[in-house]
Amino acid sequence: MIRNQDVEKIAQFAGELSRQISGLNWFAFGSCCDRIDEAEDLDLIVIYEDMEAAALVRASLREFELYPLLDVSMFSAEEQRDHCFIERRGAMPLEVFSKATNRVSMTP
């Protein structure tokens, strides 16, 4: 149920939020990265620097039109350092994933 244009919109939303809140990093992982045409939702990891930033991100996500299609895990930078979630889940930067899906959709 995820479409290429949805991924682009999600990446734009993440980019805008990152300009407003410092220290955010967005990553995509899971089945959507393998087969977007079969994925029901998009798995995201958001790494944040402080609790206030995390609360702002969560509140903004709840207002986002495509939030029903997202499965978001949020970790502090300290948790990421301790547990290496990005590496363990094979996550890729959301911006890179968005550009890759855009290229696929442009292919005839």
Partner 1 sequence: MNDDWAASWAADKLQSDSDVTAAEIVSAGVLRIDRKEYGPFIAAILGEKQSVSNVDIESFAGSEVKINFFANIPRDAIWTGGAINAARAWPAGHGGFADLGRAIRNEPDVTRYRNKELAFFEDGFVQHTAVRSVERVYDRKFRLERFGKPDFVVVLIDAYDMSAEDIRSAYSRYGHFDGALKMSSYGSVTSQAKDAAALFGAGAYKWGELLGRLNRA
Q: What is the binding site for partner 1 (CB under 8 A)?
A: 1, 3, 40-41, 48, 51, 54-55, 58, 62, 65, 67-68, 70-71, 73-76, 78-79, 82-83, 85
H helices then E strands: how many in the chain? Answer: 6, 4
Q: Which of 1/96 has CB closer to partner 1?
A: 1
The answer to whether the beta carbons of residues 21 and 53 sit under 8 Å apart is: yes
Q: Which of 89/99 has CB closer to partner 1?
A: 89
List beta partners, residue 26: 46
Q: What share of the chain is helix, strand, coil (3-state, %, to 5)?
A: 60, 20, 20
The answer to whether the beta carbons of residues 84 and 15 sit under 8 Å apart is: no
CB of 10 to partner 1, least distance (A): 14
Q: Which of 68/108 has CB closer to partner 1?
A: 68
CB of 48 to partner 1, least distance (A): 8
